[in-house]
């Protein structure tokens, strides 16, 4: 290894904890607890749905394969003692033919076993990944606020993938090895108890020595999963922020930091792998001791006539068979440690309870009129730091409400509470007199449309992105929604029209075009309550004028909440609510608030001044 590489590794080792600090999250701590057999049973419970379908076949094939393998040394003993020594060629030919048939049966049994274990293993992995992903979809915003996307991604992909060997090979191989070991022990003790016992006595010694390694190996693999999670988190952040990185020419810094984390991950894996491989030498040394005992005692027993040469050869073959499963059991234990390190992280997420959850007796929210009421709302993102403090607001059905205020005043938070992305610490939110905590989340959100400033476009066609608002919408309804928000003209000008493929986040579209698609998506859902959270911030003035005309018709009869800074967007609202540091300071229409010449008046004057300076 070069001096540069050694220095880099030493630096990586020294800065391991420092590099991790950039991506330390709630789930990035090393789990310090004993081996959890209950969690292991929980992991294997995913095999239960298939035990009646395929397990009987696998078990039968497993026993056939084990029995045929254990038969070979006995046939070798018969061949040496009863055919080769007395020079009985006919018997030798029969024994060779029988051995050939046994090998064919063993090959067929193993082929079918491997086929069905792979089928079960892949189905178990499918079910586990499906359960994890489905549960993540139900978790609340607060969960994602404290975890990077890469940390979530690594659990659905890498950690689940790391369990494949356990389910496709490990479990069945464990059973085969146990059956094979029991069979070998019985045969050795049956044919010569003293020689068999002398050989088997080495096994407890091997397990006693290897026991001390188990805790270190488990912690080492936990450390590997933690480092991989951090690496994925950093990688996801770098990909998402590549434009900012290149804009500020920070590529070298990013490469340097990634190289450091990558090396830390490699060193962590090396440490775990080194401990993992330490089982091999222990088993080899123990096996060598077993062979020494066999030939030392075996030679004595042959001289005394207690055993034959054929039996000694059979014993030597059985010892080879004996240490083979012992070695695999050591590897299986290491595989279990790797699996448990991954399973602990997976089940952490599956066991995560949504902070916003439906009550057991939640009822369906009937079709709403749009009467919304906030009663003495107090909300905190962090304990002791209220984002909203004592907010009370009543909005009649069909009214349009504009929320204005400085950044961080609580405008978007109010909208998040209305959609029940979070629950208030105190107070309640009512829709048509129904406390939204007492109705199902789906029935509430399905009647609320929302357009965000940061519009998300999914991979697929433009038509599919608009249809996301209502999956049963016809093509005609999709086009009508697009025309209503003036998105139709730019869509049909694209090479594929409505069937134009857009990549992740719609990078081929301009910011304004993505916003228009988001408008069409929300309007297609035909919600009774519509939320526009800085929805026109990224649209040019000409397009905004068209949308303002469209909104006069589209918002008619709907309750609408508008979070915006542009005067053109809010001046026609029925009510304007001015927020400051989580408190409601003023409320009224545009003319009333301008006459009062308070906070709202100051915001408008600042906007006028900014526009004049810009011109």
Mean pLDDT of the chain: 80
Q: Of 28-37, 64-73, 118-127, where does mean pLDDT reach its minimum?
A: 28-37
Report the SS3 class of residue 361.
Answer: coil
Residue 304 has pLDDT above 90, yes or no: no
The pLDDT tens digits for 217-232 are 767 777 887 787 778 7
Full-model pTM: 0.68
Task: Please give the structure tokens belonging to residue 99.
Answer: 């051995």
The pLDDT tens digits for 482-498 are 888 888 888 898 888 99
The pLDDT tens digits for 591-613 are 898 888 888 888 888 777 765 66
Residue 31 has what pLDDT?
A: 46
Residue 330 has what pLDDT?
A: 65
Q: What is the 3-state secondary structure (H, E, C) of 200-255?
A: HCHHHHHHHHHHHHHHHHHHHHHHHHHHHHHHHHHHHHHHHCHHHHHHCCCHHHHH
Residue 364 has what pLDDT?
A: 92
Q: What are phi and psi of 273, to 5 degrees?
A: -65, -40
The pLDDT tens digits for 188-214 are 888 888 888 887 777 776 666 666 666
For 80, 187, 200, the CA distances from 297, given in Å and listed in that order, are: 20, 17, 13
Q: 486-495 contacts: CB < 8 A, separation 24 or more?
A: 486/516, 486/543, 486/546, 486/547, 486/550, 487/513, 487/516, 487/517, 487/519, 487/520, 490/516, 491/462, 494/462
State the Cα–Cα distance between residues 274 and 266, nearest whole angstrom: 12
Of 565, 569, 566, 589, the closest CA to residue 577 belongs to 589
Pairing outcome for strands 385-395 and 372-382: antiparallel
As a whole-number percent, the residues of the chain with pLDDT over 70 amount to: 84
Of 453, 454, 449, 406, the closest CA to residue 561 belongs to 449
Residue 344 has what pLDDT?
A: 80
Residue 394 has what pLDDT?
A: 93
Mean pLDDT, range 38-49, rounded to an integer:
81
Task: Give the H/E segment covering residue 584.
Answer: strand 583-588
State the Cα–Cα distance between residues 286 and 207, nearest whole angstrom: 10
Task: Give the H/E segment covering residue 575.
Answer: strand 575-580
Q: Are 220 and 271 in contact (CB under 8 A)?
A: yes
State the Cα–Cα distance between residues 188 and 581, nearest whole angstrom: 81
């Amino acid at each position: 290894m070069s001096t540069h590489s050694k220095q880099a590794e030493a630096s990586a080792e020294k800065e391991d904890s420092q590099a991790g600090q950039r991506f330390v999250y709630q789930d990035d701590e090393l789990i310090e607890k004993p081996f959890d057999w209950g969690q292991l049973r929980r992991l294997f419970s995913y095999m239960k749905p298939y035990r009646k379908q395929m397990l009987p076949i696998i078990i039968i094939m497993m026993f056939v394969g084990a029995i045929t393998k254990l038969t070979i040394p006995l046939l070798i003993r018969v061949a040496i003692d009863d055919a080769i020594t007395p020079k009985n060629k006919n018997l030798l030919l029969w024994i060779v033919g029988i051995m050939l048939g046994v090998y064919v049966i063993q090959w067929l049994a193993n082929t079918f076993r491997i086929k069905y274990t792979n089928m079960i293993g892949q189905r178990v992995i499918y079910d586990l990944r499906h359960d994890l992903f489905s549960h993540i979809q139900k978790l609340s915003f607060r969960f994602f606020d404290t975890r990077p996307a890469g940390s979530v991604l690594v659990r659905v992909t890498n950690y689940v993938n790391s369990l494949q060997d356990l389910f496709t090979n490990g479990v069945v191989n464990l059973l085969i090895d146990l059956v094979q070991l029991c069979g070998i022990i019985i045969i050795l003790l049956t044919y010569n108890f003293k020689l068999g016992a002398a050989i088997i006595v080495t096994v407890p010694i091997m397990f006693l020595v290897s026991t001390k390694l188990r805790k270190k190996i488990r912690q080492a693999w936990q450390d590997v999963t933690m480092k991989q999670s951090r690496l994925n988190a950093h990688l996801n952040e770098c990909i998402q922020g590549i434009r900012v990185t290149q804009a500020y020419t920070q590529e070298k810094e990013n490469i340097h930091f990634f190289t450091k984390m990558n090396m830390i991950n490699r060193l962590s894996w090396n440490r775990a792998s080194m401990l993992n491989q330490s089982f091999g030498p222990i088993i080899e040394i123990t096996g060598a001791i077993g062979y020494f005992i066999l030939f030392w005692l075996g030679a004595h027993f042959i001289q005394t006539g207690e055993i034959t040469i054929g039996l000694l050869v059979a014993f030597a073959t059985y010892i080879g068979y004996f240490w083979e499963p012992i070695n695999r059991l050591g590897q299986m234990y290491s595989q279990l440690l790797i699996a448990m390190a991954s399973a602990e992280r997976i089940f952490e997420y599956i066991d995560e309870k949504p902070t916003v959850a439906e009550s057991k007796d939640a009822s369906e929210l009937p079709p709403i009129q749009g009467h919304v009421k906030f009663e003495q709302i107090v909300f905190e993102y962090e304990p002791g730091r209220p984002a909203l403090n004592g907010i009370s607001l009543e909005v009649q059905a069909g009214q349009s409400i504009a929320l204005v205020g400085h950044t961080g005043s609580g405008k978007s938070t109010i909208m998040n509470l209305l959609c029940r992305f979070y629950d208030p610490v105190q107070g309640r939110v009512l829709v048509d007199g129904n406390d939204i905590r007492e109705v199902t989340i789906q029935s509430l959100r399905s009647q609320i449309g929302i357009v965000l400033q940061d519009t998300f476009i999914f991979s697929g066609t433009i038509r599919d992105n608009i249809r996301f608002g209502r999956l049963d919408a016809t093509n005609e309804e999709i086009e009508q929604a697009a025309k209503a928000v003036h998105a139709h003209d730019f869509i049909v000008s694209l090479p594929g029209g409505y069937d134009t493929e857009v990549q992740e986040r719609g990078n081929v579209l301009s910011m304004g075009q993505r916003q228009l698609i988001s408008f069409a998506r929300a309007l297609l859902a035909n919600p009774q309550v519509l939320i526009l959270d800085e929805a026109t911030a990224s649209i040019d003035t000409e397009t905004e004028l068209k949308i303002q005309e469209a909104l006069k018709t589209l918002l008619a009869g709907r309750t609408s909440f508008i979070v915006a800074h542009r005067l053109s967007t809010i001046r026609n609202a029925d009510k304007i609510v001015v927020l400051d540091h989580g408190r409601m300071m003023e409320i009224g229409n545009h003319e009333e608030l301008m006459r009062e010449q308070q906070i709202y008046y100051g915001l408008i004057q600042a906007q006028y001044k900014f526009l004049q300076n810009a011109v």
